[in-house]
Amino acid sequence: MRFMVIIKANNDSEAGVIPSEKLLTEMTRYNEELVSNGIMLAGEGLQSSAKGKRLNFSGSKVTVTDGPFAETKELVAGFWIWKCKSMDEAVEWAKKCPNPMPGESELEIRQVFEAEDFGEALTPELRKKEEKMRQKIEEKK
């Protein structure tokens, strides 16, 4: 199973405060442990929402809004993609994470949909197209 572990933003991350060398060292050590145990598939920090855009769809109409966005606690500062046997295993790995922000911070774990989760709606034709896209992505790496 794959999981997205979301690092929630806070006032510091939204203000563009760069993590300290100590925190970067701790997070690097943690990421190395995730990689060496076959857990981490990807992971990145994100620039503040001031550098982002939000697209809202209503029927065929699309509205683009420039950041920054209100409600910092609802924003994402970074993420990992992990491969774990279960949600419980993902939680155990997340508990080992150094506090990703000075002060208060929050992680959210969400399971990623796999092809089999879509049942019959993912027809054999769509499944083949999905597999081809994934192969192309791998080739471009």
pLDDT tens column, 37-76: 999 999 999 999 999 999 999 999 999 999 999 877 789 9
Give the range of the structural domain holding residue 109, as residue numbers without chain letter: 2-140
**pLDDT tens digits for range 16-36:** 999 999 999 999 999 999 999
Does residue 103 surpass a pLDDT of 90? no
Task: Tell me how many domains the chain contains.
Answer: 1
**Bridge pairing between strands 40-45 and 76-83:** antiparallel
Instruction: For residue 19, give the CATH number of its domain.
Output: 3.30.70.1060
Residue 137 exposed, middle or buried by CB count within 10 Å (0-12, 13-18, 19+): exposed
Q: What is the pTM of this model?
A: 0.89
Give the number of C-alpha atoms closer than 13 A to the C-alpha of residue 65, restricted to the C-beta side: 9
CB 84 within 8 A of CB 7: no
- Give the pLDDT band (50/70/90) at residue 102: confident
